Amino acid sequence: MTDHGLQLATEKTELVLLTRRRIPTTLRMTVGTDEIKTRGEVKNLGVTLDTKMTFWPHTRRTAQKAAERIAFLSRLMANTNGPRPWRRRLLMSTVNSILLYGAETWADSLKTE
């Protein structure tokens, strides 16, 4: 990078070791003069990647987010004359898009036992 005049912002750098092997995934790496510790999970473009590629942190976080949105929109519906069919469809399409965001990335992990 230095040959091309680029610098790495080490304070913003996050390292995650992605492997399915049973090896230690918490390591310390030195970049330039700074030491960076690997993390157990990282969020990239809204998808949480964990070291074992199980996507459980992503699933938990997404389910929590969807439940919060359902609760919020349900409370809003009570103030607008109840849940009419088009309002229910709006609620479910909102939650559906939250749950399926990034499915191309994590859908294969559902097939594992």
Q: How confident is the model at residue 2 (pLDDT cuts 50, 70, 90)?
A: confident
pLDDT at 36 (0 to 100)? 83
State how beta strands 41-44 and 47-50 pair.
Answer: antiparallel
The DSSP secondary-structure symbol of 11 reads: G
Residues above pLDDT 90, as percent of the chain: 0
Residues above pLDDT 70, as percent of the chain: 90
pLDDT at 14 (0 to 100)? 80
Is 80 a residue whose pLDDT tops 70? no
pLDDT at 18 (0 to 100)? 80
What average pLDDT does the segment 8-34 reach? 79
Q: Please say whether the dihedral angle defined by the alpha carbons of residues 32, 35, 36 and 37, taken in this order, is positive or negative.
A: positive
pTM, to two decimals: 0.62
For 85-111, b/e burial (b = at least 16 CB within 10 A) is eebeeebeeebeebeebeeebbeeeee
